[in-house]
Amino acid sequence: MRNYLLLFLAIGLEVMGTMMLPSTQSFTKLFPSSVSVVSYVLSIYLLAVLSQKLPLAVIYSSWAGLGVFSVALLSYAFYKQTINWQTIVGLFLIVIGVTIVNIYKGESF
């Protein structure tokens, strides 16, 4: 359970770093740039730690998939970016894919 909490923390840090990118103004603003870089570095560090404890497919699919899903929804909420129905379907397919990877993480063909 602790490993999955660390994974969600890594995802949250990656999402925070990504959401801060517009505020960095091409890395010309010190505070948002620092928050973004530190968030990414900590997220990657947690992925490295977790790669010793969980399957890499589970770690990366969860990190990337849930990160994309979260950033898309938060961009809609905070930056007023538009989301059409095709995007919504695609985002839910990502969540379904991540769920399938996590459910069948121990099985091989």
Residue with tokens 């938060």: 74
pLDDT tens across the length of the chain (109 residues): 899 999 999 999 999 999 999 999 999 999 999 999 999 999 999 999 999 999 998 999 999 999 999 999 999 999 999 999 999 999 999 999 999 988 887 666 5
Tokens of 77: 């909420």
End-to-end CA distance of the chain: 26
C-alpha distances out from residue 103 to 14, 18, 98, Å: 23, 27, 9
Q: How many domains does the chain have?
A: 1
3-state secondary structure of 106: coil
- Is residue 85 classed exposed, middle or buried when 0-12, 13-18 and 19+ CB atoms within 10 A define those classes? exposed
In this structure, is residue 109 part of a structural domain? no
* Domain encompassing residue 29: 2-103
pTM beyond 0.75: yes
